[in-house]
């Protein structure tokens, strides 16, 4: 009798506590294809975004075909200086304007913007390497937002 109760308890536990897992980054269920990508602005940002959009190219069973226009901008500013006039911290901002067109008609457009602040380093080489890491992280965050944006297309 005790074994039967344990068995039913385990069955109930399995069926009642499912996690509801759902794939968020799944492009297989999209019914559109990106045909052309036009880019203006920062080359590094645009290259990474074009690589992201390449997964939406040459898809089979697409019912809609879009052109994407990207306008990206990168700005770096001095956020603060010390009493000697040396830069102590910086501010970095990446902005991407995305226009989605179908048959030369603007279907959807949005602006994605990310920024961060960081401190100066003694070594200029290390500072440049750190800035490259920050830029890549900001672009990756924008790509996640763009992916969610594209997921809203019906």
> Mind listing the pLDDT tens digit for each residue in 14-73?
666 655 555 555 555 667 888 899 999 999 999 999 999 888 888 777 788 889 999 999
Cβ neighbors of 62 (< 8 A, separation 6 or more) are 31, 32, 33
pTM of the model: 0.77
Q: What local confidence, expressed as pLDDT, does residue 12 receive? A: 67
Strand partners, 57: none
First to last CA, the chain: 54
Q: What is the CATH number of domain 2-151?
A: 3.30.160.150
Q: What local confidence, expressed as pLDDT, does residue 3 receive? A: 73
Q: Count how many residues are written for the chain.
A: 154
pLDDT at 74 over 90: yes
Strand partners, 93: 75, 115
Of the chain, the percentage scoring pLDDT greater than 90 comes to 56
């Amino acid at each position: 009798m005790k074994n039967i109760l344990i068995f039913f308890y385990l069955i109930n536990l399995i069926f009642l506590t499912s996690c509801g897992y759902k794939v968020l980054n799944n492009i297989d269920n999209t019914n559109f294809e990106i045909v052309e990508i036009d880019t203006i602005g920062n080359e590094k940002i645009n290259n990474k975004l074009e690589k992201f959009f390449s997964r939406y190219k040459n898809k089979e069973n697409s019912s809609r075909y879009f052109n994407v226009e990207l306008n990206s901008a990168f700005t770096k500013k001095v956020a603060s200086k010390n009493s000697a006039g040396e830069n102590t911290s910086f501010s970095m901002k990446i902005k991407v304007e995305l226009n989605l067109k179908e048959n030369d008609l603007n279907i959807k457009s949005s602006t994605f913007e990310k920024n961060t602040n960081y401190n100066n380093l003694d070594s200029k080489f290390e500072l440049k390497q750190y800035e490259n890491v920050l830029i890549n992280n900001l672009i990756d965050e924008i790509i996640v937002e763009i992916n969610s944006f594209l997921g809203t297309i019906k």
